[in-house]
């Protein structure tokens, strides 16, 4: 079983970011350095530091959306836990979905350092006020989707998230280092699982190709709209929250996937995918951004289903949360 | 399996393994549906422990996937409690039922794994020793929730008492042979939670002999569908 070419390099970047973080913590800035000076010196902004309102609001929006994505992302993969075709695969998938809940937890904690409460964040997800990644509004129709999601969706997430390990906001950067390390395990297991299918029976192979056909373009769309239409990008770059443009990251992802697909022996569903000697990159067909906008606005195949599921779980758990609160309150009074 | 003595041990291990496997399958239904995110993590963790124990136990009896995916319900040796829906009816998922079920199940598992750990078979003893630690945590988790639900609100008290009344009869088969020790673990929790220990009347059984409730074949139909659709395939 071959390794996931290119993934090791990304993991190396995570390690470098971690070292840089430690080093930055040891470099002392003079007394009360201004926000701009901290950013300019590549230091980290910490929760107690002064920061522009728009920086705070933008980070809350971004971290919350990321946390919500982890929570909603449990649904499409959770869909196959009960039917996993071997006990080993069942254990891996269950552990992976559990990791996603864990990622959600520490991302919510990172968002809370910016002065927003868990309850506010929960409400924002449940009411649709804040979004989650549109990729999770696509259905998981076969077991091979577990492999394709691991390889392509987690792969795209890693390409997006590795630069965030160097983000200027300390708690987010630290959370992302941990998330990226676990995501890289997720991607490896997905790739490995898909590899086994691609080498398997004709039916398994067809299942694997069908999954790649369905997940390729939605994965490309995960990097967001083209640079020309990206609303939050410029300021985000100046504040060193974002380090690369949407299109740069998308290109990086395509360049990584092509040789990986060759090793799998599966075809990426883009007849125009060709190496461009001059650019030193693969030329590829852009995803359908109109489709992306439709899904973002709520009209993807599973938006309603995902939101209804989350709301139902929240409502059905209300009596349990109330009981826990009432019990804690009684105990507090008993102690006092 | 060779020799009668060895078979006797294996049958016990298979029953324990089936309990853990079917329990894992049930617990995994909670993924993305728990009352809090923290509880989602905890329930998935307990499901993973159950699955891990099941795999080790099934491997002592044969090929884990053969056993999990190729047997019909008459071949399963799990107790009836393990296969029951985690709510009053098929398709239901109720947190009060789940915690009551986990209290009963993990208390019995703790005792059986403790016995396994003290047994002569070194390999089985190793499995038992690892599983004892996990069951201790599962029992503690269920206990904490029984106290919260029993002593929380009027509604939570009512719901968890209903669950207890519904599940209690299945404790007879679950704790067969270890009844007194099992009651010594479970009854103090119920008392502290302010719950009424139900009277002992109906004693449903048959799981250990492969006569199950109507629920198991549905659970297996879902669990085994993909594996059975591709005979001989590797995953």
Calculate how close chain B gets to A213, using CA atoms only, in Å.
Answer: 20
Contact: B25, A102; criterion CB under 8 Å: no
**Nearest CB to B52: which of A91, A310, A316?**
A91
* Residue pointed to by tokens 């060709």: A274
Q: Is the pTM of this model over 0.90?
A: yes
Calculate how close chain B gets to A133, using CA atoms only, in Å.
Answer: 16
Calculate how close chain A gets to B64, using CA atoms only, in Å.
Answer: 7
Report the residue of chain B nearest A76, measured CA to CA: B32
Calpha distance B66→B55 (Å, rounded) = 11
Residues in chain A within 8 Å Cβ distance of B64: 87
Calpha distance A133→A302 (Å, rounded) = 12
Q: What six digits make up the tokens of B196?
A: 């009424």
pLDDT one-digit tens code per residue, A257-312: 999 999 999 999 999 999 999 999 999 999 999 999 999 999 999 999 999 999 99
Helix axes B37-61, A87-112, angle to 10 degrees: 160
Using left for φ > 0, alpha for ψ between -120 and 50, and beta otherwise, residue A298 falls in left
Report the residue of chain A nearest B145, measured CA to CA: A324
Most A-contacting residue of B68, B146, B235 (CB-CB within 10 A), to test interface: B235
CB atoms within 10 A of CB B210: 15
Cα dihedral value A208, A269, A218, A302, nearest 10: -60
DSSP letter for each residue of A227-260: GGG-SSHHHHHHTTS--S-HHHHHHHHHHHHHHH
- Tell me what ipTM this predicted complex has: 0.95
**Nearest CB to B148: which of A316, A318, A324?**
A324
Contact: A97, B32; criterion CB under 8 Å: yes
Q: What six digits make up the tokens of A282?
A: 């693969």
Calpha distance A295→A60 (Å, rounded) = 22
Most A-contacting residue of B24, B71, B147, B152 (CB-CB within 10 A), to test interface: B152
DSSP letter for each residue of A66-125: HHHHHHHHHHHHHTTGGG-SSHHHHHHHHHHHHHHHHHHHHHHHHHHTTT--HHHHHHHH
Contact: A87, B32; criterion CB under 8 Å: no
* Per-residue pLDDT of chain A in tens (336 residues, 90 and over written 9): 555 667 778 888 888 888 888 777 776 665 567 899 999 988 899 999 999 999 999 999 999 999 999 999 999 999 999 999 999 999 999 999 999 999 999 999 999 999 999 999 999 999 999 999 999 999 999 999 999 999 999 999 999 999 999 999 999 999 999 999 988 889 999 999 999 999 999 999 999 999 999 999 999 999 999 998 877 678 888 898 888 999 999 999 999 999 999 999 999 999 999 999 999 999 999 999 999 999 999 999 999 999 999 999 999 999 999 999 999 999 988 887
pLDDT one-digit tens code per residue, A87-128: 999 999 999 999 999 999 999 999 999 999 999 999 999 999
Contact: A74, B234; criterion CB under 8 Å: no
Contact: B151, A330; criterion CB under 8 Å: yes
Calpha distance A325→B148 (Å, rounded) = 9
Calpha distance B91→B29 (Å, rounded) = 10
* Sign, Cα dihedral of B16, B177, B130, B118: negative
Q: How confident is the model at residue B9 (pLDDT cuts 50, 70, 90)?
A: low
Calpha distance A38→A318 (Å, rounded) = 43
Calpha distance A253→A152 (Å, rounded) = 9
Cβ atoms of residues B67 and B156 within 8 Å: no
* Residue pointed to by tokens 């105990």: A331
**Nearest CB to B148: which of A101, A108, A327?**
A327
H helices present in chain A, as ranges: 7-26, 35-40, 53-78, 87-112, 118-126, 144-148, 154-161, 170-198, 202-221, 233-238, 246-264, 289-294, 303-316, 318-335
Closest by CA position to A297, among listed A157, A153, A137, A64: A137
Contact: B28, A319; criterion CB under 8 Å: no
Most A-contacting residue of B34, B40, B58, B59 (CB-CB within 10 A), to test interface: B40
- B86: helix, strand or coil: coil
Contact: B41, A201; criterion CB under 8 Å: no
With a CB cutoff of 8 Å and minimum separation 6, the contacts of B59 are: none
Calculate how close chain A gets to B233, using CA atoms only, in Å.
Answer: 7
pLDDT at B33: 98
Cα dihedral value A286, A288, A292, A295, nearest 10: -150
User: Which CATH code is given to the segment(s) B2-198+206-229?
Assistant: 1.20.1260.10
pLDDT one-digit tens code per residue, B159-210: 999 999 999 999 999 999 999 999 999 999 999 999 999 999 999 999 999 9
pLDDT one-digit tens code per residue, B196-222: 999 999 999 999 999 999 999 999 999
**Nearest CB to A324: which of B152, B159, B235?**
B152
SS (H, E, C) B6-47: HHHHHHHHHHHHHHHHHHHHHHHHHCCCCCCHHHHHHHHHHH
**Nearest CB to B48: which of A95, A201, A327?**
A95
Q: How confident is the model at residue B12 (pLDDT cuts 50, 70, 90)?
A: confident
Contact: B230, A105; criterion CB under 8 Å: no
CB pairs under 8 A between A and B: 141
- A281: helix, strand or coil: strand
pLDDT at B6: 47
With a CB cutoff of 8 Å and minimum separation 6, the contacts of A214 are: A138, A141, A145, A148
């Amino acid at each position: 079983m071959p390794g996931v070419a290119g993934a090791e390099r990304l993991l190396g970047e995570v390690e470098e970011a971690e070292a840089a973080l430690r080093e930055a913590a040891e470099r002392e800035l003079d007394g009360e350095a201004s926000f701009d000076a901290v950013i300019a010196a590549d230091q980290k902004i910490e929760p107690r530091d002064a920061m522009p309102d728009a920086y705070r609001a933008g980070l809350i929006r971004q971290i919350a959306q990321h946390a919500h994505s982890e929570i909603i992302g449990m649904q499409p993969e959770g869909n196959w836990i009960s039917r996993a075709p071997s006990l080993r695969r069942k254990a891996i998938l269950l552990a992976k979905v559990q990791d996603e809940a864990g990622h959600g937890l520490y991302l919510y904690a990172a968002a809370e350092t910016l002065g927003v409460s868990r309850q506010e964040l929960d409400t924002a997800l449940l009411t649709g006020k804040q979004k989650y990644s549109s990729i999770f509004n696509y259905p998981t129709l076969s077991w091979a989707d577990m492999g394709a999601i691991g390889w392509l969706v987690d792969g795209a997430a890693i390409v997006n998230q590795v630069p965030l390990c160097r983000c200027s906001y300390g708690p987010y950067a630290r959370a992302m280092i941990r998330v990226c390390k676990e995501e890289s395990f997720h991607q490896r297991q997905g790739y490995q699982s898909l590899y086994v299918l691609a080498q398997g029976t004709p039916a398994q192979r067809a299942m694997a190709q069908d999954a790649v056909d369905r997940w390729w373009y939605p994965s490309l769309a995960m990097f967001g709209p083209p640079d020309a239409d990206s609303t939050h990008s410029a300021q985000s770059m100046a504040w060193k929250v974002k380090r690369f443009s949407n299109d740069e990251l998308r290109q990086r992802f395509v360049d990584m996937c092509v040789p990986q697909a060759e090793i799998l022996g599966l075809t990426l569903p883009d007849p125009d995918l060709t190496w461009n000697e001059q650019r030193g990159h693969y030329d590829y067909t852009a995803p359908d951004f109109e489709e992306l906008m439709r899904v973002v606005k709520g009209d993807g195949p599973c938006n309603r289903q995902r939101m209804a599921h989350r709301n139902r779980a929240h409502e059905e758990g209300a009596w349990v949360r109330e009981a826990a609160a009432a019990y804690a309150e009684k105990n507090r009074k008993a102690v006092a | 399996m060779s020799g009668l003595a060895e078979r006797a041990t294996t049958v016990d291990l298979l029953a324990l393994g089936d309990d853990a496997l079917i329990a894992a399958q049930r617990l995994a239904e909670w993924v993305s549906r728990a009352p809090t995110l923290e509880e989602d993590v905890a329930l998935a963790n307990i499901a993973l422990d159950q699955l891990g124990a099941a795999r080790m136990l099934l491997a002592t009896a044969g090929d884990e996937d053969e056993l999990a995916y190729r047997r019909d319900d008459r071949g399963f040796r799990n107790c009836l409690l393990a296969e029951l829906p985690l709510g009053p009816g098929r398709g239901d998922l109720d947190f009060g039922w789940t915690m009551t079920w986990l209290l009963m199940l993990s208390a019995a598992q703790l005792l059986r794994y403790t016995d396994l750990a003290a047994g002569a078979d070194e390999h089985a003893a190793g499995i038992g020793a690892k599983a004892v630690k996990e069951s201790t945590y599962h029992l503690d988790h269920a206990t904490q929730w029984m106290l919260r639900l029993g002593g929380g609100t009027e509604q939570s008290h009512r719901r968890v008492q209903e669950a207890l009344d519904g599940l209690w009869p299945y404790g007879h088969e679950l704790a067969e042979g270890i009844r007194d020790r099992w009651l010594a673990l479970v009854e103090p929790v119920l008392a502290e939670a302010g719950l009424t220990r139900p009277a002992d009347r109906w004693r449903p059984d048959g799981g250990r002999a492969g006569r199950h409730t109507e629920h198991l074949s549905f659970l297996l139909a879902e669990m085994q569908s993909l594996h059975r659709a591709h005979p001989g395939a590797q995953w």
